[in-house]
Amino acid sequence: MAQLPNSLEARDSAVQLHSYADARRQEEMGALVIDKGEGIYVEDINGKRYIEGMAGLWSVAVGFGEKRLVDAATRQMEKLPYYHTFTYKTHGPSIELAEKLIEMAPVPMSKVYFTNSGSEANDTAVKLIWYRSNALGQPERKKIISRVRGYHGVTVASASLTGLPNNHRSFDLPLPQVLHTTCPHYRTMKKDGESEADFARRCAQDLEDLILAEGPETIAAFFAEPVMGAGGVVVPPIGYWEAVQPILKKYGILFVADEVICGFGRTGNMFGTETYNLQPDIMTLSKALSSSYQPISALLINDDVYQPIADESHKIGVLGHGYTGSGHPVAAAVALENLKIIEERDLVGHVKAIAPVFQKRLAGLADNPLVIETRGIGLIGAAELHHEALAATPGALGAKTNAVFHENGLISRNMLDAMAFCPPLIITEAEVNKMFDIAEASLKSIRESL
Ligand code: PLP
């Protein structure tokens, strides 16, 4: 992309430092300037349309241009554009949304705590877990286990939970209290001749070995996404959760299900927790909670988590935590309307109905020899490419494929060489086919060009 002087691209590069970009490359190339969106499509400033195959950042469940969300925001802006939830104050939208989330929770939950991003939700979970350990008189119980390739965000604590090298490198992370256990990706992590079920058991054994090596009384919590997203869409191997959960129970370790991507329909149930029959003590939610029309996230905590925290805040006199935007009324009003849409349109049923088509087309990408593996569930999936095909470093083929997808009108995201697909939940069967037609044709042209 050439940057014309005074173009939006050039102005952007002059003033913005971007996330997940190489800043020098950005200065040279500029960014794609997206201007508007409708349904599963977004359009750039030159009028080119793209299928948003990632729903933005795995998040725009109800699609772009949903007028009901605009109206919900406007109504709330006019009535009470801002108020907070500190110091014994509250407001209607935060109350209603908290009630709704407790009602929707797939396991009994006691309280909701509002935050503004997935990172903040996980960061807050870490802090509340530490606070609780102190409340219980177990100050040594502070270590947290997450997984290699897990993604939990980018704040100091949540980036530590994230198990990806680029989120640690040169940031002096992870924090020493955070430990990472085996990534449950069968193809890359299995031993010779190991069955998927045996591999799942070994992952659980690795977790138990780590707990025992560190001392079970020092481990406070285990954080995991039901299905890993940004780490490359890693669907757990058969038997994984059945083997992992009893170990957490055995040692009294809290289970935090990071539902930031899986929550609100993505895996074909309202929560990934239902898809995998999980029993989390804490759930973190964001993204599809408001379809990202407003920044909002939430933690659901069960009573076993809440009660010691309540006692400790009583002892100290205050829970010394909170964000200016926690439970923001406009964000809460938008989230409530968004959840109404998800329920009224039965988007979970819709995901269930079209997931077989999505997964069949995704699997079909493996007909191209460039694709080494496809994996997915519901309306999320990835096609992993043979990076050696480009005789280059990992990630180069993924970046090239991303560029060709763009050229052909499809936005995907390459996590190294895994191409992710996570479209708005409203996508129709015809649109699923269109998306994979573009992916298939693009991969074919890349293969022919190598
Ligand atoms: N947890 C998961 C599973 C995520 O996928 C993400 C973001 O992609 C986060 C947490 C962090 O959310 P945010 O980017 O809103 O801080």
Q: Going residue by residue through the chain, which has 450 residues, state the pLDDT in tens, using 9 for 90 and above.
A: 567 888 999 999 999 999 999 999 999 999 999 999 999 999 999 999 999 999 999 999 999 999 999 999 999 999 999 999 999 999 999 999 999 999 999 999 999 999 999 999 999 999 999 999 999 999 999 999 999 999 999 999 999 999 999 999 999 999 999 999 999 999 999 999 999 999 999 999 999 999 999 999 999 999 999 999 999 999 999 999 999 999 999 999 999 999 999 999 999 999 999 999 999 999 999 999 999 999 999 999 999 999 999 999 999 999 999 999 999 999 999 999 999 999 999 999 999 999 999 999 999 999 999 999 999 999 999 999 998 877 778 899 999 999 999 999 999 999 999 999 999 999 999 999 999 999 999 999 999 998
- Alpha-carbon distance values, 6 to 35, 129, 130 (Å): 17, 49, 50
Q: Is the CB of 152 under 6 A from ligand 1?
A: yes
- Alpha-carbon distance values, 132 to 126, 136, 307, 319 (Å): 10, 6, 9, 11
CA distance 291 to 406: 23
CA distance 124 to 303: 17
**What local confidence, expressed as pLDDT, does residue 5 receive?**
82
Strands 380-385 vs 41-44: parallel, antiparallel or unpaired: unpaired
Q: Identify which of 18, 115, 119 to mutate to test ligand 1's pocket (most ligand atoms within 8 A of the CB).
A: 119
**What local confidence, expressed as pLDDT, does residue 1 receive?**
53
Closest ligand 1 atom to Cα of 116: 15
Q: Do residues 114 and 322 lie in contact, with contact meaning Cβ atoms separated by under 8 Å?
A: no
Q: Whose Cα sits closest to atom 12 in ligand 1?
A: 118
Q: Is the CB of 31 under 6 A from ligand 1?
A: no
**What local confidence, expressed as pLDDT, does residue 393 receive?**
85
**How far apart are the CA of 367 and the centre of ligand 1, in A?**
32
Q: Whose Cα sits closest to atom 7 in ligand 1?
A: 153
**How far apart are the CA of 173 and the centre of ligand 1, in A?**
17
**What local confidence, expressed as pLDDT, does residue 2 receive?**
61
Q: What is the DSSP secondary structure assignment for residue 116, as one 8-state letter?
A: S
- What are the tokens at 398? 């993924």
CA distance 354 to 432: 8
Q: Is the CB of 119 under 6 A from ligand 1?
A: yes
Helix residue ranges, H only, 46-195: 55-58, 67-79, 92-104, 118-135, 156-161, 186-189
Tell me the pTM. Answer: 0.98
CA neighbor of 101 nearest in space, from 329, 255, 256, 283 = 283
Task: Report how far apart the first and last C-alpha atoms of the chain are (Å, whole number).
Answer: 22
**What local confidence, expressed as pLDDT, does residue 201 receive?**
98
